[in-house]
Structure formats: structure tokens, C-alpha cells
Amino acid sequence: MLTNTRPAAPVDSTPIPMSTPTPVSQLAVAEQLMTLLRDTTTEPRPDAQLEALTLAVAADLPVLLWGEPGIGKTAALTQLAASLDLPLTTVIASVHEPSDFSGLPIVGDDPAEQGVPMAPPDWAVRLVRAGRGLLFLDELSTAPPAVQAALLRLVLERRIGTLQLPPGVRIVAAANPRSSAADGWELSPPLANRFVHLQWTHDHEVVVRGLGGTWPRATLPELDPGKLPGAVDIARRAVCGLLSARPTLVHRLPSTETRRGGPWPSPRSWDMTLSLIAFATAAGSSREVLSLLVRGTVGDGPGLELLAGLDRMDLPDPETLLADPAAALLPERGDLRQAALDGVVAAVRTRPDRARWDAAWTLLVRALKTGAPDLVVVPATALAALRQEDWDVPEAIEDLAGVVSLSRRADRAADRVAGRVPAKAGR
């Protein structure tokens, strides 16, 4: 019997595709790795040059960082802007035209009636709209003289064309020495005299710890409101006292082109120095930080003279020391302590008196017990020479006799070694 059968449908042997994860882009992985490398933190760490930079920024003075290529000037400015929560605007001075800083002339409807205004560049407009920011002028030493001339008004008056930058904008520049700059120029004296010059160097420990992920934190100095009037008084007395004694330092243009492109004294730079001393005093900054700022504003020679004057201002009044020698506070630094003791002896010499003479000996004993013994040798010898016949020798001299005698024997031994006196003279 025949049956009507239909042929079986062919079996599809094509494998069913399985869902597979989308491969991750290698560029995305690379971005993840770069994110991890950029993930750094900061820590409070003593750093004199960083503190000097933040102090000058707080004083609203233009700063110029000098350093070799790759030393970290740009990175320091980026971190400073982030720490101070200031938007950073970077302008490469060497790739701009003079009109980019002096303003671009824009012809209006009626130039004869309205004149031709000088339009500012877009980055200046953004700074004004923000009302605050850190303007970073990079590669300043590769800017040609015409561009440097155009920068004069920007740095000093904060003007670009007809636009006035707001008070919340701070200016910091960076430059390489001419020997290591790409087609470098020396800074013009008028432009150089508008900056606080800071030599930017690397610290081995800071670099190693920073590459490990932790960099120093840039913070604005904490100004003590109670110290503000005194800080201004100290700054004015220091600067005016030096310039009164050394009038030739008021304005001294260096003789060489290289030195003219750095810090040098002028009424403008002395005014900047006065501000920096007041800020450093109110902030309680170290002498190292103050030295960087002062020498970076008026130069090494005038700056060191000013620092020496400040040291003398810090000396205690000899009459105050003589009034209560047992409770007197003497400077810790050896040179300042020596100067204070010399001042006490000079005060006794000016107005000799038995009570003052005895008080000076008490003070020398106190200095002997709280500092280096050799610092009292010269003052003790000078004070002993002031004794009058009716003055009894105070008991305090017994504490000093051994030190003075030992010092004299050491001097005589050194003279014998040098062949300046015969051996029997030292006995």
C-alpha cells in the first residue's frame, strides 16, 4: 500500500552565535593608566621658595621665576593655582605680537569722532569676567624686545588695551636664563624692575616624594591682624633707615646688560621691598624666606645690607637688659647675641656706674650659661677694662675667669704654632 509521505526538512547545521563582550579600547585603558599617574596629593611641607612665591602673590606683586628648563616652574604655578582655587590663564609671551598686549585697533563707525579703541584679547576678557585668576606669562626671556615693551603696562598697571584687570588677578611669569633659553633675550631694565625675581631650583627630597605622589602644598600666609601696624612700622623704619644712611642705593642701575635684566634698586623696587617686609613680618616668615624676597627685589648687595639692618633692629635695648639682667632674653643666633652683649658694654662705657657695671657682669654670666662660651670673651675683656679703682670685683667674674683665661691660652698657643711669638711668651 502506497502512503503519501513528505520529505523531512533539512537540518540547519549553522552554529548559533554566542554573545561576546565588546573588546575594551586600548586607548581607554591607556587613559585609565594616565589617570592613575595623575592622581597625586599634597602635604604641608616647609619650602622656602614656595613660601616666598605665595607671600609675593598675597602682596599682589608680580613675580618672575628664573630656572633651567624642566625644573618645575610650570608645574609649581599649576599647583599654586589649584591650591588657591584660582583659574589659571597661561600666555606664552614669545609667540604673541606686541598688539596682543597693547590691544588690537578696532575701527568704529566714526573714527574721527569716537577714535579707534584698542580691543583686548580673549584671555583678558575671560579674566575680567571671572573677576579673579592667576595670569601666567611663560617663556618671558624668549620674548623679543618689542613684546617686552608691550608687557610693561600689563605688568605694572594691569591694563591690556582699554581693559583694566580686576584686583583679584595675580601675575606670575617664568623665564629661562639666556644661556638655556631658545633664542633668548635679556630682559629689558624697565620690565625687570617691575618683578620680584625668585631663583627656582629643585630640592631632591621634594622631587622624589612628589614623583611618589605627594607634593608640597602651596598655601597663602596666615597674617596676624595684631601684627599689622607693627609690621608696617618695622618695614618703613628698615627701608628708610638704610636709604637715609646710604642715599646712593635709592637708584642704582647696574652697569652690565645681564644684571640689568635682574633685580636692582630703584624707588619702585624699594616700595615693593617695603611691602614684602611688612607681609613677611605679619606672617611670621623665616629669615630665609625674607632673604629670598628682599634680594630678589633690590639685588644681593642692597638686600644683604637691608637684612643686616633688620637684624640690628631685632636686638634688645641694652638699657632694658641692664635693668633686669637676671631675666633678660638674649638672641639665640650667635652673631646677634654677640652684638647684643657688645651693645651692653658700650652702654656701660657711655654712662659708667657701679650698679650698671655689676649688672653687665650678671648678664655675661647668663649668656655664658645659655649659649656658646666663646661669645662672652670679648665683651668680658672690654667690660673688665672699664673697672674703676673703688669698684669691688663682683662674684660673677669667677664664673667667667676660666673661660677668658682658656681663650687667652688658646690664642697664645695658636700664635706659637704660627711662629708669631716665642714659646716662653705663652707661659
Least Cα distance to 148 among 193, 210, 215, 209 occurs for: 193
- For residue 103, the Cα-to-chain-centroid distance in whole angstroms is 33
Angle (nearest 5°) at CA 103 between 146 and 58: 85
Q: Return d(Cα 252, Cα 125) in angstroms, integer.
A: 38
268, 44 Cβ separation under 8 angstroms = no
Taking 50 as the pLDDT cut, the residues of the chain under it are 1-3, 406-415, 417, 423-427
| Three cell numbers written together for 383 | 667690660
Q: How far is CA 129 from CA 40, 122, 153, 296, in A?
A: 31, 11, 20, 32
- The model's pLDDT over 283-305, given as tens digits with 9 standing for 90+, comes to 999 999 999 999 999 999 999 99
Per-residue pLDDT, 427: 41
pTM of the shown model: 0.74
Q: Return d(Cα 379, Cα 330) in angstroms, integer.
A: 14
Per-residue pLDDT, 192: 93
Domain limits of the chain? 44-104+117-216, 225-313, 318-426
Per-residue pLDDT, 291: 95
Per-residue pLDDT, 406: 44
Per-residue pLDDT, 409: 46
Give the contacts of 411 (CB within 8 A, at least 6 positions apart): none
- Beta strands 63-66 and 168-175 are parallel
236, 274 Cβ separation under 8 angstroms = yes
Identify the CATH number of the domain defined by range 44-104+117-216.
Answer: 3.40.50.300
Per-residue pLDDT, 377: 83
359, 319 Cβ separation under 8 angstroms = no
Q: Return d(Cα 248, Cα 255) in angstroms, integer.
A: 15
Q: Return d(Cα 340, Cα 317) in angstroms, integer.
A: 8
Per-residue pLDDT, 402: 60
State residue 209 phi and psi, 5-degree precision.
-70, -35
Per-residue pLDDT, 391: 82
State residue 5 phi and psi, 5-degree precision.
-115, 140
